[in-house]
Amino acid sequence: MNTIEVQKLEFSTEYPGLDEISERLDDLDEKFPVGVTNWKDYDYKPRVSFSIACTSNEILLKFYTDEKWLRAVNTETNQEVYEDSCVEFFVSPSDDGIYYNFEFNPLGTCLMGFGHRREGRKRADPSIVSRIRRCSSVYPDRGGSAEGNFFWTLTIALPFTVFCEHEITYLTGKSIRANFYKCGDRLPVPHYLSWNPIQTPKPDFHRPEYFGILRFL
């Protein structure tokens, strides 16, 4: 099971700007690959990694994606962004079995859901999703890319208040379960990558038993 020790970053303001957050995440020593191809029928492997840190009130993420095709069609909150080029963060902040799925396309459009399993999940009210600060950049036609022609990044600041089924006041000293994914259901070549391996017969990200561990320092 993969484990990440998540650093706490200090800023001069309570809610620093996304540009500053992005630069600080770039400067972290380690980026973690989303590179496990769990299913042999889906072996296309774009180059994907992420940085993660936290503050006293937000989880900070930055995804780095290099892929052959780019799709960014969905523009409204809670639309099916997993059909686009999509990066995802699934996280279970407590031991009650509830986990959240945060899914983003290159436009920063977010689908957010929560529940105990794939069936019966609820999609978060757009007013809750709007608390998530995010900023994306897309760089087309990178001719020297090993994997393709599109490189895009997404910086995300997830406030603790977005976990609407829990009351989270701090994370320092805690360990929680999570996984990170890359997919693209309607790309010319669909793909399904994960950070922590998944052992199921067919693609299924809604498997919290295969989440790794985030240990907040």
pLDDT in tens, 66-104: 999 999 999 999 999 999 999 999 999 999 999 999 999
pLDDT at 183: 98
The domains of the chain, with CATH numbers, are 3-216 (2.60.40.1190)
For residues 212 and 177, is the Cβ–Cβ distance under 8 A?
yes
Instruction: With cut-offs at 50, 70 and 90, classify the pLDDT of residue 139.
Output: confident
pLDDT band at 141 (very low <50, low <70, confident <90, very high): low
- Nearest CA to 85 out of 160, 7, 140, 30 is that of 140
pLDDT score of 149: 83
pLDDT tens column, 1-60: 999 999 999 999 999 999 999 999 999 999 999 999 999 999 999 999 999 999 999 999
Say what the pLDDT of residue 140 is.
73
Q: What is the pLDDT of residue 157?
A: 98
Strand 150-159 relative to strand 133-140, pairing: antiparallel
C-alpha–C-alpha distance, residues 60 and 155, integer Å: 8
